[in-house]
Amino acid sequence: MMKSIGSRMRSLSKASVLSVAVGVALSTAGISAQAAGPTLSEADFEKGKSIYFQRCAGCHGTLRKGATGKSLEPIVKKKMKDGTVKTSGTLKLGQDRLEKIITYGTEGGMNNFDDILTKEEITLMAKYIQMEPPVPPEMSLALMKERHKVFVAPEDYPTKPMHGRNWKNFFLVIERDVGKVAIIDGDKKEIVAHIPTGYAVHVLKAVEHHETLHVKNAGRFWYIMGRDGMMTKVDLWANPDKMKVAQVQVAYDARDVAVSGDGKYVIGGGYWPPHFVIADAKTMEPLKVVSTRGVNVDGEYVNESRVAAVYDTPKAPSWLVSAKELGQMWQVDYSDLDNLKIVKMDTAKYLHDGFYDPTNRYFQIAANASNKMVVVDTVDQKLEAMIDVDSKPHPGPGANWIDPKCGPVGGTTHLGVGKVTAWGNDPVGHPDQAWKICYEVETDGAGVFLRTHPKSDYVWADQTKHPEPEVQQSVQVISKKTREIVKTIQLTTKKGYAAVHFEFNADGSEVWASVWNRADSKKPNGEIIIFDAKTLKEVGRIKGLYAPTGKFNVYNRVNHVT
């Protein structure tokens, strides 16, 4: 006889409780496999759900229909132009083939997992993805309000910095798998605090420079989004034990957060349920939920239309919301929440992450699976351009720089190929180059992030998505002047470690890169390596970090320094 839901939850491991908590289905209906497919015990099915949420759902979708990554549905039927039906899916690939893909990865952007999962777990996951995906529950505004917590009341916030440090050169560093953010003093290279947040933090943001809305001490408060939908508010003026001031869970699976230009509201975008939530930025009380389900640019209804990126618009009182599977950018006016105005701009699938041009008018965002960079005009609120690029562009926070021939350009790495692509992004001063590819640089492997600084002569690109450890652990430095790779730096040789993400300090003199311990993230054995931005020589290391990935410098992020 099956156990009750309550007894099952009490008996689950911590990882499985997380899986249930994030909504990866409470029912056991999915335990029955497709005809002739594999089966799993209840315990193994729960373990598979947890691993899938932590490692796979971001690229392949909660319902496994695919986006940046391919569909992982057991059976996929596609009607061809000649009227025939083509059948594919994980059942057709079979156990052996799936195990090899999970183990070794692919050069198309799929990481190897042989240094993260055991052989038994890889076998389990190959079976799990051949079974019907469980459907997660919804999340109501009432439930969000139940999960809203205030740790320090706004009236008790300090009126001046309590620690005597240069908080404008603080770095907020994601400690991914332990669900924390480290606060690091960029001047003294000291860890100030490890703040508990949501699981696998993805993005964190503060009030950014706005042309008409001005907030005093912008950058003091930071809003952090965990992959479990936990949105946390942090006060950089407080002493370490008082920095975490409030939190609320707005989804079971989420990626991004943004603050309104006036500092009054914060928005969190959900992967599941597919919606965005607007909360009071002072107290973190959730105020409004808006679903992003709808009809995509191909005229098909999409149930899982996830919100990947959310950004404030520096030239208007609005946010940009990317409806990933719809292929639409939504510009949401936050000046009147009761009569919310949303402009929906048709673009391309699958929208993921992006950055502004130097004028802060045009937002440049990757449509991963369409192999395009999409550009929207936030003043005229319309699609400006779509740039055809190589396989699965992924700029992360992006990079803008001046090219000797094309003038101002923006750039991206790619998840599917080792390449950095630069395009013109100055339609006023260089109209002949605008929204056209300026040049491409072949790198050794597919990457996730690139970064530069106005004072730097170089663009830094990682290669985190390449399956070979030596490439995965190396970063490449590209000259802005010559467009050539001038240096390849291997950050580590340890098994299960990767090089990922860059951030400059406030004055642009240093570059910080993460050594991410993918395999054993529960111990403080990751580190940040600091380089001199001009000589490219190592000048320091910060140890004692848990799986450090993304890093956010207060000054640079608030002032849109890319």
Q: Confirm whether 280 is domain-assigned.
A: no
CA atoms within 13 A on the CB side of 462: 31
Average pLDDT, the chain: 90
Q: Is the pLDDT of residue 2 over 60?
A: no
CA atoms within 13 A on the CB side of 515: 21
Structure tokens at 283: 């107290």
Domains in the chain, number: 2
Instruction: Assess whether 406 carries a catalytic annotation.
Output: no
Which of 96, 128, 160 is the last residue before a domain boundary? 128
Q: Confirm whether 21 is domain-assigned.
A: yes
Alpha-carbon span 381 to 364, nearest angstrom: 13
Q: Confirm whether 477 is domain-assigned.
A: yes
User: So what's the pLDDT on residue 85?
Assistant: 79
Contacts 24+ apart (CB under 8 A), 463-466: 463/418, 463/499, 464/111, 464/498, 464/499, 464/500, 464/516, 465/109, 465/110, 465/111, 465/415, 466/107, 466/418
Lowest mean pLDDT among 87-101, 245-259, 271-285, 544-558: 87-101
Backbone φ and ψ for 454, nearest 5 degrees, come out as -55, -30
Q: In what side-by-side order are the strands of the sheet with 407-414?
A: 393-403, 407-414, 419-424, 437-442
SS (H, E, C) 446-511: CCCCEECCCCCCEEEEECCCCCCHHHHCEEEEEECCCCCEEEEEECCCCCCEEEEEEEECCCCCEE
pLDDT digit string (tens) for 480-512? 999 999 999 999 999 889 999 999 999 999 999
pLDDT digit string (tens) for 317-357? 999 999 999 999 999 999 999 999 999 999 999 999 999 99
pLDDT digit string (tens) for 421-459? 999 999 999 999 999 999 999 999 999 999 999 999 999
User: So what's the pLDDT on residue 57?
Assistant: 81
Q: Is the pLDDT of residue 23 over 50?
A: no
Q: Is the pLDDT of residue 33 over 90?
A: no
Which of 75, 93, 128 is the last residue before a domain boundary? 128
Share of the chain above pLDDT 70, in %: 93
User: So what's the pLDDT on residue 520?
Assistant: 66
Which structural domain, as residue segments, surrounds residue 463?
443-562
Alpha-carbon span 45 to 25, nearest angstrom: 11
Alpha-carbon span 242 to 235, nearest angstrom: 8
Structure tokens at 444: 């050794």
Read off the pLDDT of each residue in 75-94 and give the average, rounded to a whole number: 84
> Are the CB atoms for 131 and 74 separated by under 8 Å?
yes
> Are the CB atoms for 181 and 199 separated by under 8 Å?
no
CATH number, domain with residue 46: 1.10.760.10
pLDDT digit string (tens) for 124-176? 988 888 999 888 889 999 999 999 999 999 999 999 999 999 999 999 999 98
Instruction: Assess whether 352 carries a catalytic annotation.
Output: yes
Q: Is the pLDDT of residue 521 over 80?
A: no
Read off the pLDDT of each residue in 269-284 and give the average, rounded to a whole number: 97
Q: Pick the residue with more confidence: 515 or 522?
A: 515
User: So what's the pLDDT on residue 36?
Assistant: 66
Decide: residue 551, CB within 10 A, 0-12 exposed, 13-18 middle, 19+ buried: buried
CA atoms within 13 A on the CB side of 269: 32
Q: Is the pLDDT of residue 395 over 90?
A: yes
Q: Confirm whether 285 is domain-assigned.
A: no
Set 110, 231, 406, 438: catalytic member: 110
Q: Confirm whether 522 is domain-assigned.
A: yes
Read off the pLDDT of each residue in 524-545 and give the average, rounded to a whole number: 96
The C-alpha angle 424, 430, 433, rounded to 5 degrees, equals 40
User: So what's the pLDDT on residue 60?
Assistant: 85
DSSP code, position 101: H
Phi-psi region of 96 (alpha: psi -120 to 50; beta: other; left: phi over 0): alpha
Alpha-carbon span 275 to 289, nearest angstrom: 7
Alpha-carbon span 502 to 451, nearest angstrom: 6
Q: Confirm whether 485 is domain-assigned.
A: yes
Set 194, 202, 275, 352: catalytic member: 352
Which of 101, 128, 155 is the last residue before a domain boundary? 128
Q: Confirm whether 59 is domain-assigned.
A: yes
Q: Is the pLDDT of residue 32 over 60?
A: no
Read off the pLDDT of each residue in 257-275 and give the average, rounded to a whole number: 97
Instruction: Assess whether 438 carries a catalytic annotation.
Output: no
Phi-psi region of 449 (alpha: psi -120 to 50; beta: other; left: phi over 0): beta
Set 56, 144, 231, 438: catalytic member: 56
Q: How many CB atoms lie within 10 A of CB 247?
A: 23
Q: Is the pLDDT of residue 293 over 90?
A: yes
- Predicted TM-score (pTM) of this structure: 0.85
CA atoms within 13 A on the CB side of 252: 25
For residue 528, give the nearest of 556, 548, 509, 508 by alpha carbon: 548
Set 194, 202, 209, 394: catalytic member: 394
Asked if residue 350 has a cis previous peptide bond (ω within 30° of 0), the answer is yes
CATH number, domain with residue 521: 2.130.10.10
Residue 290, strand partner residues: 276
Q: Confirm whether 429 is domain-assigned.
A: no
Structure tokens at 424: 């013109």
SS (H, E, C) 184-218: EECCCCEEEEEEECCCCCCEEEECCCCCCCCCCCC
User: So what's the pLDDT on residue 67?
Assistant: 74
